[in-house]
Amino acid sequence: MTIADTATSELVVEPGVVGSLGALLRARGVTGRAFLVADSNVLRLHGAAAKHSFDAAGISVAVREVPAAESSKSLAMATRLYEWLAAERTERRDFLIALGGGVVGDLVGFVAATYLRGLPVIQVPTTLLSQVDSAIGGKTGLNLRVGKNLVGAWHMPRLIVVDPLLTRTLPERDICSGWVETIKHALLMDEELLHDLEAHADELLRVDPEWTANVVARSGRLKIAVVHEDPREQGRRIILNYGHTIGHAIESVSNYRLHHGEAVAIGLEGAGRIGVAAGVTPPAVLERQRALIARFGLPAKAHGLAMAKVRATMNLDKKVEAQTLTWVLLEAVGRPTVRRDIDEDIVQRVLEELVVA
């Protein structure tokens, strides 16, 4: 079922849709050749079904495998894809397909944004985290040695296709961390969704098909509404960075030993503590957030990292203005606020509590 449209992309959530992906694209008037990129794990699990769907729909498809690692989000890997597309004589009427999690989505989105000054891209996210977050909104990003997502471009996908059944093959750790962005969306914008996360955590952790499809669709609607209002993060969209200022730094300093969802969970704890210390966030809101994060088996502290390095990495955050960090905090569930006046002593104290050497 189609659940939402924006001016630039459509979101479809449908169990089993990967097996009919070619027909879906054909029905929506997508033309040209398909260039599908997937990581080695996803290609092994879902590549044959996707390719068969294109063959059945009469769409020519070429397939490229990339390593299943955060290191694939690099300029070096993007260059390899450019060279592949050039060798295949790719034209502007052709399109790219990102079949995978956030790494593949970011990499392929960036390549689509920059090759031939822009090619259409279809996002087919295969992880919970990418289905509810990174595949939506047109952000693409590559990592540098000094930080995450420092090279990137805005490039809205023509279509986002979500098959909730694909997440059944995920390891337990990825399932737990995959729900963190949905928790964030609920805290920011939807107390009813927050209640359902609390009440149905067991179903979501075992990836119950009905509840997974329900919650993924609702979470996607929330993000799409914000992106539609503010596609280039000039205003309201900045609220989606709740927990990310600390989270991205921890993820980077851990050398991606911590998964994105785990690092963001720690970042949510940090933002909550900062909000309480600054008199912005009611303690009861932090306690509710903390209990839900724990219910999903996510960490609240980072162990084995140098706090000073985390703090230095935070200064590379894209939301820094006039050398001042921007903080998204909660005044209440469903009422975020953006603050640039948080005392540095509060930030330092919270980091000392969160980051344990």
Indicate whether 245 pLDDT > 70: yes
At 323, the pLDDT band (50, 70, 90 cuts) reads low
Q: Would 20 be classed as within a structural domain?
A: yes
> Which one of the listed residues 14, 70, 181, 251 is annotated catalytic?
181
Same-domain pairing of 139 and 222: no
Q: How many helices (H) and strands (E) does the chain have?
A: 16, 13
Domain CATH code at residue 288: 1.20.1090.10
> Annotated catalytic, 241?
yes
Question: Does residue 116 belong to any structural domain of this protein?
Answer: yes
> Distance between CA atoms of 122 and 158, rounded to whole angstroms?
6
Average pLDDT over residues 84-113: 98
pLDDT above 60 for 5: no
pLDDT at 234: 87
Least confident of 49-63, 135-149, 244-258, 317-331: 317-331
Residue 207 forms part of a structural domain: no
Residue 1 located in a structural domain:
no
Contact by Cβ (8 Å): 194, 292: yes
Task: Give CA–CA dist 164/209, Å, rounded.
Answer: 7
Tell me: pLDDT of 89 over 50: yes
Rounded CA gap, 248 and 242, in Å?
11
pLDDT value, residue 357? 78
pLDDT score recorded for residue 10: 86
Asked if residue 227 and residue 153 are part of one domain, the reply reads no
pLDDT of res. 3: 40
Q: Is 65 designated active site?
A: no
Catalytic residue among 241, 251, 262, 311: 241
Angstrom distance (rounded) from CA 133 to CA 36: 21
The catalytic position among 233, 251, 262, 269 is 233
Amino acid residing at 101: G
pLDDT for the residue numbered 219: 95
Q: Which of 46, 185, 223, 273 is catalytic?
A: 223
Q: Give the active site residue among 51, 139, 184, 311.
A: 139
Please check whether residue 245 lies inside any domain of the structure.
yes
Query: What pLDDT, on the 0 to 100 scale, is given for residue 2?
Result: 38
Q: Which of 184, 218, 244, 311 is catalytic?
A: 244
Residue 189 sits in the same domain as residue 319 = yes
Q: Name the catalytic one among 46, 158, 260, 273.
A: 260
pLDDT number for residue 9 = 67
Do 235 and 135 sit in the same domain of this protein? no
Domain assignment present for 239: yes
The answer to whether 244 is a known catalytic residue is yes
In which element (H, E) is residue 284 found? helix 283-295
CATH code of 23's domain: 3.40.50.1970
Mean local confidence (pLDDT), 175-194: 98
Say which of 158, 184, 221, 237 is annotated catalytic: 237
Mean pLDDT of the chain: 94
Q: What is the mean pLDDT of residues 152-164?
A: 94
**Any catalytic annotation for residue 46?**
no
Task: Say if residue 191 is in the same domain as residue 155.
Answer: no
pLDDT of amino acid 321: 61
Q: Does 183 share its domain with 231? A: yes
Pairing of strands 2-5, 10-13: antiparallel
Residue whose pair of structure tokens reads 């992309």 in the numeric block: 9
- Helical axes 209-229 vs 191-199, angle rounded to 10°: 160
This prediction has a pTM of 0.88
Angle between helices 283-295 and 191-199 (to 10 degrees): 40
Same domain, 155 and 258: no
Same domain, 238 and 126: no
Q: Tell me whether residue 237 is one of the annotated catalytic residues.
A: yes
Tell me the pLDDT tens digit for each residue of 198-222: 999 999 999 998 999 999 999 998 9
- Is residue 205 domain-resident? no
User: Which domain, by its residues, includes 194?
Assistant: 176-199+218-354
Residue 307 has pLDDT above 60, yes or no: yes
- Does 192 participate in catalysis according to the annotation? no
- Known catalytic residue at 223: yes
Specify whether 312 is located in the same domain as 194. Answer: yes
Tokens matching residue 320: 């820094």
Residues 160 and 267 reside in one and the same domain: no
Q: Residue 159: pLDDT above 60? A: yes
- 208 lies in some domain: no
In the residue annotation, 117 being an active-site residue is answered as yes
- Looking at the fold, whether 140 and 183 belong to one and the same domain comes out as no
- Do 130 and 228 fall into the same domain? no
Q: For residue 92, give the DSSP letter.
A: T
Which one is catalytic: 158, 218, 221, 248?
248
Domain tally for the chain? Answer: 2
